[in-house]
Amino acid sequence: MLVAMAWLVLSSNAEAEFSHSGSLKNLSVGSRSLIDDNRYLSNLTRLRIEPRYRYRDWVVDAAYDLELVTGSFLDSPEFALLRDAPDPRYWDLQGNVHESGDLLARHQLYRGTIQWRSPAGDFRFGRQQVNWSTALIWNPMDILNPVSPLQLEPDERIGVDALLWDRAWGATGRISAVHAPQHGDQNASTAARAKRFVAGVDAGVMMGEFADVTKAGVSGGGSVAGTGWRTELVWSKPDAGDSYWQGVADLNWAFRNGLNLAVEYFYNGKPVSPGTTGLANLVSARPLYAGRHYAGLLVWQDINPFWQYRVVTIRNADDASWVFYPRSTWMLPLSQEMYFTAGAQWFGGDEDSEYGRLKSLGLMEIEWFF
Q: Is the pLDDT of residue 5 over 80?
A: no
Quick one: average pLDDT of 245-268?
A: 97
Please identify, in words, the CATH class of the domain defined by 129-370.
mainly beta
* Entry field: residues in the chain: 370
- The better pLDDT of the pair 42, 16 is held by 42
Quick one: average pLDDT of 162-185?
A: 95
Q: How confident is the model at residue 276 (pLDDT cuts 50, 70, 90)?
A: confident
Query: Model confidence over 133-154: pLDDT tens digits?
Result: 989 999 999 989 888 999 999 8
Q: Please give the Cα distance from 348 to 66 (Å, whole number).
A: 36
pLDDT for residue 286 = 82
Q: Please give the Cα distance from 205 to 234 (Å, whole number).
A: 10
Q: Please give the Cα distance from 202 to 230 (Å, whole number).
A: 9
pLDDT for residue 278 = 72
Quick one: average pLDDT of 314-340?
A: 95
Please name the residues in contact with 143: beta carbons below 8 A apart, sequence gap of 6 or more. Answer: 132, 189, 191, 206, 208, 210, 215, 234
Residue type, 302: D
Q: How confident is the model at residue 186 (pLDDT cuts 50, 70, 90)?
A: confident
B/e letters for 56-89, b = 16+ CB within 10 Å, e = fewer, are eebbbbbbbbebbbbbbbbebebbeeeeeeeebb
- The better pLDDT of the pair 341, 284 is held by 341
Quick one: average pLDDT of 170-177?
A: 95
Q: Please give the Cα distance from 317 to 39 (Å, whole number).
A: 30
- Tally the C-alpha atoms within 13 A of residue 46's C-alpha that lie toward its C-beta: 23
Domain boundaries, the chain: 1-117, 129-370
Q: How confident is the model at residue 11 (pLDDT cuts 50, 70, 90)?
A: low
Do residues 197 and 215 make contact, with C-beta atoms less than 8 angstroms apart? no
Q: Is 6 helix (H, G, I), strand (E, B) or coil?
A: helix
To the nearest whole percent, how much of the chain has pLDDT over 70?
96
Backbone angles phi, psi at 147, to 5 degrees: -145, 140
Quick one: average pLDDT of 297-303?
A: 96
Q: Is the pLDDT of residue 14 over 60?
A: no
Q: How confident is the model at residue 13 (pLDDT cuts 50, 70, 90)?
A: low
> Which pTM value belongs to this model?
0.91
To the nearest whole percent, how much of the chain has pLDDT over 90?
82
Q: How confident is the model at residue 1 (pLDDT cuts 50, 70, 90)?
A: low
Q: How confident is the model at residue 273 (pLDDT cuts 50, 70, 90)?
A: confident
Q: Is the pLDDT of residue 9 over 90?
A: no
Q: Please give the Cα distance from 241 to 78 (Å, whole number).
A: 30
